[in-house]
């Protein structure tokens, strides 16, 4: 059953509903181009059929690995950057206890996941080593290309640490590599060392890989039900790949609404959540949409806020700053927990008017009040709602975002599956580090920095 809903009632006054529905015919064509592989980037469409292709053997193997890891590790290090870690982190943080890192393993019932290789900070990695010195751990290194600098450096450091701690033979059993089937430095190393490996299919780009072992292995190690996650994605796939109208197809509705707003002078989209556990869903969404659409001097700029926290920082700008933004609110109807505001005899803080009510009710009224205030402040709002956060609804949500992103990229007439702009910083970094082959650029860049 599909639980996700998209509501565009709060666009009124900014773009006409007719402007949204005007994308209807075009979206049917783009849906066809994605399904028939006739559009831009059509060699990277493997993600569309991933939910149906995940077989029993792969799920069983991931589950069995995760049981083995849980038996010997208290901490599981996920090494990867961009699409090679954000999907797993988004789902794990949405599902886990908000203070999972402070729980003991018995209450958590699974290893605690930490992330590395998503930055080059010396302090970050050195601090992580301090923790790993004293705790049992295992790790996965995830890189489709097998050559990305950030995870490669982290893996060098952590592999050395793991080998020194457990000895080479045991260290090898504690490493799983997720990479290309045959190419890349990581694949070569994994074969030479005899690591267990999983494959990132050739036709699935990093940011669309959450339904491969890239996302599924860390989720399973963290103790979550990957079968339900896949099931949710299968349900959403059935709907968004077949439904032909904006009213029936939530991915059509979202892609059309955001593009109507973009065309109407709103080039910045802010994803809003009211649950701190959803911050990494926003981070994953930012990468998906930013890398897929931001090219050829166009694209909606994806940003994110966590309310009500950021109502005390970014809220001012959203309410009264430059009127170039719209918001998309990810609204969760039911929280996982239950907590009531206590009553106090002297009512010193004047809050007895909410005593006995759930915190969620207060949060919900903050959400509705903010929605109206921002719409009054000329910030149109798209609403995406889910009844609850669990593996199934997250599977629905992430597949929905992926399909809507591909449609949206086609509306913008860009290739949503490449990221040529990411290379620019890498070339400069290699040149400045003096990598062989970059000698000419090294000199030129060093002169520019003088």
Q: Which residues contact ligand PA5 (rule: CB under 6 A)?
A: 81-84, 143-145, 148, 151, 205-207, 291, 419
Catalytic residue among 426, 427, 439, 444: 426
Q: How many CB atoms within 10 Å of residue 21?
A: 18
Q: Is 30 a catalytic residue?
A: no
CB of 126 to ligand PA5, least distance (A): 22
Catalytic residue among 312, 338, 440, 450: 312
Q: In 3-state terms, what secondary structure has residue 254? A: helix
- Check: CB of residue 405 under 8 Å from CB of residue 34: no
Strands 268-273 and 196-199: unpaired
CB of 40 to ligand PA5, least distance (A): 16
Q: Considering the complex, state which of residue 207 and residue 258 has its C-beta at the smaller distance from ligand PA5.
A: 207
Cβ-in-10-Å burial (0-12, 13-18, 19+) of 95 comes to buried
Find the residue with minimal CB distance to ligand PA5.
206
CB of 179 to ligand PA5, least distance (A): 8
Q: Considering the complex, state which of residue 175 and residue 371 has its C-beta at the smaller distance from ligand PA5.
A: 175
Q: Considering the complex, state which of residue 30 and residue 207 has its C-beta at the smaller distance from ligand PA5.
A: 207
- DSSP annotation string for 153-205: HHHHHHHHHHHHHH-HHHHHHTEEEEE-SS-SHHHHHHHHHT-EEEE--TT--
Q: Considering the complex, state which of residue 148 and residue 282 has its C-beta at the smaller distance from ligand PA5.
A: 148
What's the Cα-to-Cα distance from 295 to each of 34, 129, 298, rounded to whole Å? 20, 38, 6
b/e sequence 80-92, b meaning 16+ C-beta within 10 Å: bbbbbbbbbbbbb
Strands 75-79 and 381-386: unpaired
Q: Considering the complex, state which of residue 51 and residue 290 has its C-beta at the smaller distance from ligand PA5.
A: 290
CB of 91 to ligand PA5, least distance (A): 16
Q: Is 435 a catalytic residue?
A: no
* Tokens found for residue 202: 């050739």
Q: Is 173 a catalytic residue?
A: no
Catalytic residue among 93, 150, 235, 291: 291
CB of 38 to ligand PA5, least distance (A): 22
Residues forming the active site: 291, 312, 426
């Amino acid at each position: 059953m599909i639980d996700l809903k998209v509501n565009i009632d709060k666009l009124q006054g900014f773009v006409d509903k007719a402007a949204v529905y005007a994308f209807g015919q075009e979206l049917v064509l783009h849906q066809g181009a994605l399904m028939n592989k006739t559009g831009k980037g059509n060699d990277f469409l493997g993600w569309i059929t991933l939910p149906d292709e995940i077989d029993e053997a792969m799920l069983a193997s991931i589950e069995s690995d995760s049981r083995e890891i849980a038996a010997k590790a208290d901490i599981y290090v996920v090494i990867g950057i961009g699409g090679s870690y954000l999907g797993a982190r988004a789902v794990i943080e949405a599902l886990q206890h908000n203070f999972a890192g402070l729980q003991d393993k018995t209450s958590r019932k699974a290893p605690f996941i930490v992330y590395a290789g998503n930055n080059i900070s010396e302090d970050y990695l050195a601090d992580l080593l301090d923790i790993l010195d004293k705790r049992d751990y295992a790790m996965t290194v995830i890189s489709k290309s097998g050559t990305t600098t950030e995870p490669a450096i982290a893996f060098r450091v952590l592999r050395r640490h793991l080998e020194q701690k457990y000895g080479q033979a045991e260290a090898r059993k504690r490493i799983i590599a997720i990479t290309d089937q045959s190419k890349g430095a990581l694949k070569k190393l994994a074969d030479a060392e005899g690591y267990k490996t999983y494959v990132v299919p050739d036709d699935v780009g990093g940011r669309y890989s959450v339904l491969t072992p890239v996302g599924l292995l860390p989720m399973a190690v963290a103790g979550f039900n990957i079968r339900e996650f896949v099931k949710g994605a299968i349900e959403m796939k059935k709907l968004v790949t077949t439904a032909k109208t904006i009213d029936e197809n939530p991915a059509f509705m979202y892609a059309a609404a955001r593009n109507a707003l973009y065309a109407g002078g709103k080039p910045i989209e802010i994803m809003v959540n009211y649950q701190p556990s959803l911050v990494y869903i926003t981070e994953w969404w930012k990468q998906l949409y930013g890398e897929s659409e931001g090219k050829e001097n166009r694209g909606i700029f994806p940003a994110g806020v966590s309310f009500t926290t950021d109502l005390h920082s970014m809220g001012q700008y959203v309410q009264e700053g430059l009127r170039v933004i719209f918001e998309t609110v990810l609204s969760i109807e039911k929280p996982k927990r239950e907590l009531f505001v206590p009553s106090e005899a002297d009512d010193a803080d004047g809050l007895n008017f909410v005593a006995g009510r759930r915190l969620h009710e207060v949060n919900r009224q903050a959400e509705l009040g903010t929605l109206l205030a921002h719409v009054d402040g000329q910030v149109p709002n798209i609403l995406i709602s889910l009844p609850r956060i669990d593996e199934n609804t997250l599977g629905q949500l992430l597949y929905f975002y992926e399909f809507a992103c591909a449609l949206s990229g086609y509306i913008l007439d860009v290739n949503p599956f490449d990221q040529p702009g990411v290379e620019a910083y890498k070339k400069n970094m290699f040149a400045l580090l003096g990598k062989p082959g970059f000698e000419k650029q090294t000199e030129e860049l060093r002169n520019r920095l003088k």
